[in-house]
Amino acid sequence: MSDKISRSGRKESNRTYRGSTKVNSDFKWKTDITVVGALEIVTEPDLDIRATMELHKVIGYEQELEAYHKVWKKLKLKNEFIKAWDGIPPKTFCCGMVTEQDETIKQNTKLLNDGWVKSTNEKLLKEEGFKIDVFVWSWTNVSGKSETIIPMIRFHSLPENMSQQ
């Protein structure tokens, strides 16, 4: 299969006639052209926001991502993220006895972007030349669980930094 250039100018493989998987849905979290990389939050077998997050890179932006990730670690933003996430009650069913993981991820993503992310970007990250957001990376599986949902923290170059590349 041949590769094609997406609207954002990034190379992606042809997805025609293939089942939806993590690998071939990789383009989804990269559709915003300001994204230089992301941290994937562990969801298998269960959501674990305290686990080591997997760093995903956008080819060609490795240096920017490395610099932004250093700031993330220096400011201890993972700890802040965990506090913010834990501060939101999870979505539950069965009289509040069972947590609905996928619905909790969707709910928390919206609430974190409207609150913690917005505040963190304004107060801390804007002067560092980048911003973050929380993104729901999802795909539909051909077999097994019908939908897989993974939260990610994406790193974005600010427009003035993009023009300097």
Give the integer Cα–Cα distance in Å for 37 and 66: 9
What is the SS3 string spanning 39-74? EECECCCCCECCCCCEEEECCCCHHHHHHHHHHHHH
Task: Please count the structural domains in the chain.
Answer: 1
- Whether residue 11 is contained in a domain is answered as no
- The proportion of the chain whose per-residue pLDDT surpasses 70, expressed as a percent, equals 81
| Within a domain: 53 | yes
The tens digit of pLDDT for each residue in 32-60 reads 999 999 999 999 889 999 999 999 999 99
Show the tokens assigned to 32. Answer: 């915003």
* pLDDT, position 165: 45
pLDDT of 140 reads 79
Assess if residue 57 is contained within a domain: yes
- Give me the sign of the Cα torsion angle 55, 60, 66, 69: negative
Distance CA 56, CA 59 (A): 10
Q: Is residue 124 part of a domain?
A: yes
Q: Which residue has the higher pLDDT, 121 or 24?
A: 121
Task: Among 28-32, 68-72, 104-108, 151-155, name the one with the lowest average pLDDT.
Answer: 28-32
pLDDT single digits (tens) 74-112:
999 999 999 999 999 988 777 766 678 899 999 999 999
Compute the distance between CA of residue 117 and CA of residue 80 in angstroms, rounded to an integer. 10
- Residue 116: CB atoms within 10 A of its CB come to 21
State the chain's mean pLDDT as an integer. Answer: 85
Q: Which domain holds residue 149?
A: 20-162
The CA distance from 19 to 21, in Å, is 6
Q: Look at the block and give the residue holding tokens 């994937």.
A: 40
pTM: 0.81
Determine the pLDDT at residue 4.
56
What mean pLDDT is predicted for residues 121-126?
96
pLDDT of residue 17: 46
Are 116 and 122 in contact by the 8 Å Cβ rule? The answer is no
**Residue 86: inside a domain, yes or no?**
yes
Measure the CA–CA gap between 83 and 65, rounded to whole angstroms.
24
- Is residue 32, in this structure, part of any structural domain at all? yes
On whether residue 4 sits in a domain, the answer given is no
Count CA atoms closer than 13 A to 80's CA, side-chain side: 15
User: What pLDDT, on a 0 to 100 scale, did the predictor assign at position 100?
Assistant: 86
In-domain check, residue 151: yes
